Structure 1
Amino acid sequence: MSPLAYGVLRQVTPTAAVLLAENPGVMTLDGTNTWVLRAPGSASCVVVDPGPADAAHLARLAAQAPVEVVLLTHGHPDHSEGAREFGRQVDAPVRSVDPAFRLGGLGLDEGDVIEAAGLSIRVLPTPGHTADSVCFQLDDAVLTGDTVLGRGTTVVAHPDGRLGDYLASLRLLAALPAGTVGLPGHGPELPDLVAAANGYLAHREQRLAQVKAAVAELGGAPTARQVVERVYADVDRSLWEPAEWSVRAQLEYLRDA
């Protein structure tokens, strides 16, 4: 995505537009995708993942008011840091799985359907990246947060994230109708979320086999860093620290298998 996309609300589907936060980085790719949802003709909207506490970004979002509700896919700061302040600015409740990020008291639970801005938004519990991760299902797309990214793969943020949970969440997304559009928390939209989720599952199975082989070769109880040095030798070292989180999750998964 071009840097020229910063500050511009871009319509992606008939009901979803994206405003890219200017917080690019190793973990955030081009930046955080803040999604603005509304049915065609609706005066109000729903905002998903307001992103960092960036005054300019939040002001651009506030220009989309009235906002009926703010939703969080999970509590990592690049998605949630600005949420409560934004909710106050536009006088809208903030709903999340984790009570720490809520404004107005309501949470998010499996099977919840949020009726707002002319839309029915279904909550899909998808823990794994973090314990509090959820996706949001619209008629024409699914907002995936960091469960599935628009480019590359995501991290299982151990110890909060657990690999067994993550694999189950990927299988849930892989079982959606073929051609479901994915609207991720980072990176470009995915024309076929089911294909992306199946690709993620294959990648995780491959990595898990590599980790298992590395443990056998190293012997004893190798550290996560020792495993990373073998399995992720071809990966940029700037990614080794988050890779360690995933390896710890994989080692725990193998111990519990």
Structure 2
Amino acid sequence: MTGHVTTPAAALADRLPDWVTLLRAPNPGPMTLEGTNTWVLRAEPGAPALIIDPGPDDAGHLARIAAHTPVGGVLITHGHGDHTEGVDTLAGLLGGAPVRAVDAAYCRDAEPITAATRLAGHGLDITPVAVPGHTADSVAYLVRRGDEQVILTGDTILGRGTTVVAYPDGNLGAYLESLELLGAYQGITALPGHGPALADCAVAAGFYLAHRRARLDQVRAALAAGISTAPEVVAHIYADVDPSLWPAATWSVRAQLAYLAQRREFDPGAGGLDLP
């Protein structure tokens, strides 16, 4: 549970609903896995589609998205560039389709998403679910069509491996609470921002929670052993991880240290820990 996780956190979905289409951006990498997932949801043929996360500003990828017209709107799961760089280009290709996100910086011709936001239309019922932690603006979308449901999880739950808590914008306490919230979505297919679809959002959330708690115990043990800086904690507990991923792991470790400090489990100043 505490080793580097590269496999899916739940069984893979054996199929996607016939109203869900995956378009994967050509931006594979250590952080993006096979590439950023753009999801196209269309309740029935001819109905306006809903686009989740345009992805990078890649002409070919955005043209493939725009080919799925008519499009009723675009939703953003969080503001990282691999999900949002294509917003303006896509909005232009679509003739100004509204774009909505928690952060107003990514909205186009629409209001930001809040706790009171309710989205419906074109045969789809969409409930935004605030899931801060990976980033402060992370949001999932529970989408219903008839008696079928899916939940778009962005980078809060990935199709394989685990995600980073992107400190200081990300917050571990908030992330743990978000995972507990997602644990209520039993039996609902998770459509992640990267990697394959998972059969059960709740199972994946439970795995992530156990993994994060185990990592926290590793950090506690490292502190007790006299480890004095975040990079040293990373080298100690992420020794099985490719060093090219250590900068991202450092974000999560800083988030873990901030979490423990907030809980008064240690004094970061006493050991010279390099928390900002």
- TM-score tier (shorter): over 0.9
Which of residues 153, 156, 163 in structure 1 aligns to 2:162? 153
AA at the equivalent of 2:40? V
Separation in structure 2 between the aligned mates of residue 224 and residue 99 of structure 1, nearest angstrom: 33
Mapped contact 1:19–1:35 kept (Cα < 8 A) = yes
Deviations 1:136-164 (A, max 9, x none): 00121100000000000000000000000
Matched, 1:202 2:207: no
Question: Are the aligned partners of 1:46 and 1:117 in contact in 2 as well (CA < 8 Å)?
Answer: no
C-alpha RMSD of matched pairs (Å): 1.2
Q: 2:76: which partner in 1?
A: 72
Q: How is 1:160-179 mapped onto 2 (pairs within 5 angstroms)? A: 160-176=169-185, 178-179=186-187
Q: Does 1:35 align with 2:44?
A: no
Describe the SS at the equivalent of 1:182: strand
Mind listing any 5+ residue stretches in structure 2 that lack a counterpart? 1-14, 264-276
Instruction: Write out per-residue CA displacement over residues 187-211 of structure 1, whole angstroms, 9 at most, x where no aligned residue.
Output: 0000011100000000000000000
The TM-score, its normalising length taken from structure 1, stands at 0.92
Looking at structure 1, the residues matched to 122 and 175 of structure 2 have their Cα atoms a distance apart, in angstroms, of 31
Letter of the 1:213 counterpart: A
Paired residue type of 2:72: E
* Structure (1/2) with the larger helix percentage: 1
Distance (whole Å) between structure 2 residues aligned to residue 71 and residue 107 of structure 1: 10
Cα distance between partner residues in 1 of 2:114 and 2:125:
15
C-alpha offsets along residues 102-132 of structure 1, whole Å, 9 cap, x if unaligned?
1113111124221133201110000000000
- The match for 2:125 among 104, 120, 126 is 120
Supply the AA of the counterpart residue of 2:198. Answer: L
Runs of 4+ aligned structure 1 residues displaced above 4 Å come to none
Secondary structure at the counterpart of residue 190 of structure 2: strand
Greater Cα shift, 86-95 or 30-39: 86-95
Tell me the TM-score normalized by structure 2.
0.86
Structure 2 match to 1:5? none
Q: Distance in 2 between matches of 1:210 and 1:119?
A: 43
Specify whether residues 42 and 123 from structure 1 end up closer, same or farther in structure 2 by C-alpha distance, changes over 3 A only. Answer: farther
Identity of matched residues, %: 54
For 1:223 and 1:86, locate their aligned partners in 2 and report how far apart those are by CA, in whole Å.
43
Q: State the partner residue of 1:241.
A: 247
User: How many Å apart are 1:223 and its aligned residue?
Assistant: 1.4
Determine which structure has greater relative contact order: mean sequence separation of CA pairs < 8 Å that are 6+ residues apart, divided by chain length.
2
- 1:40 is displaced (CA, Å) by 2.5
Deviations 1:33-89 (A, max 9, x none): 000011123421010100000011011110101111110000000000001221122
Q: Secondary structure at the match of 1:138?
A: strand
Where 2:225 maps in the other structure, the secondary structure is: helix
Q: Which runs of 5+ in 1 are unaligned?
A: 1-10
